[in-house]
Amino acid sequence: MILVKSKPSIFLLFVYFGLLIIMVSCGPNEEIVYYDNGNPKTVSEMHQGKREGLTTSYYENGNLQGKILYRNDEENGRATYYHQNGNVMQEVDFVDGQIHGFLIEYSEDNIEKILTSFRDGVPHGKFVKFFPSSGKPAMEGIHEEGKMVGTLSYYDREGRKLRECYFDKNEISTSCKDL
């Protein structure tokens, strides 16, 4: 059997380079914004002029400040923000640019400070505020469409319930009792 080597046709070279250019130009690219000191401030994946994918932000000293996912230039997915020391400061979920799910805030020592449930950008559901030194609940209650409703409970540093207040649908405290 005899093999004959032939040169690629000019047409095939044009097709190959044309596809390569299309693949490169249609794929995501990055937009980088810098501080005056030259360090990056934000690095965003872009597609057709809009944030699409991961955006990473940095403190001026270069430490990681946050990571957030975007779809069609709106927050969509998990966002995580960091203290200067590298510990997580806040975790929050977004859907179509609005907070949806739990927002959790942490102290610089990595202790939960606040946990709040959101629906369509409005507090809705459980929320808990924690003592900064121990991470034990200091206060907990329920939001309904942004309003405090039902029982709001207060605790001491050892976790004993101290007081309960009751709120109607108009966020008016109808009664409180010490325990």
Residue 60 buriedness (CB in 10 A; 0-12 / 13-18 / 19+): exposed
Q: Where are the domains of the chain?
A: 28-106, 111-179
Q: Which of 97, 52, 56, 62 is nearest to 80 (CA)?
A: 56
Q: Which of 54, 77, 76 is nearest to 67 (CA)?
A: 54
Q: Tell whether the model's pLDDT for residue 169 goes beyond 80.
A: yes
Q: How sure is the predictor about 7, in pLDDT bands with cuts at 50, 70 and 90?
A: low
Return the pLDDT at 10.
56
Q: How sure is the predictor about 77, in pLDDT bands with cuts at 50, 70 and 90?
A: very high
CA separation, residue 124 to residues 75, 79, 137, 148 (Å):
19, 19, 19, 9
Return the pLDDT at 20.
41
pTM over 0.95: no
Of 60-64, 123-127, 129-133, 172-176, the range with the lowest mean pLDDT is 172-176
Q: How sure is the predictor about 15, in pLDDT bands with cuts at 50, 70 and 90?
A: very low
| Strand partners for 34 | 40
79: Cα within 13 Å, side-chain hemisphere? 26
Whose structure tokens read 């808990």?
128
Q: The tokens of 81 are what? A: 């923000």
Looking at the domain 28-106, which fold is it?
A: Outer Surface Protein A; domain 3 (3.90.930)
Q: How sure is the predictor about 171, in pLDDT bands with cuts at 50, 70 and 90?
A: confident
Q: The tokens of 168 are what? A: 């109607």
User: Average pLDDT in the 163-167 region?
Assistant: 94
User: Average pLDDT in the 46-73 region?
Assistant: 96
Q: The tokens of 143 are what? A: 């939001």
Instruction: Report whether 115 contacts 126 (CB < 8 A).
Output: yes
User: Average pLDDT in the 144-152 region?
Assistant: 93
CA distance 41 to 63: 10
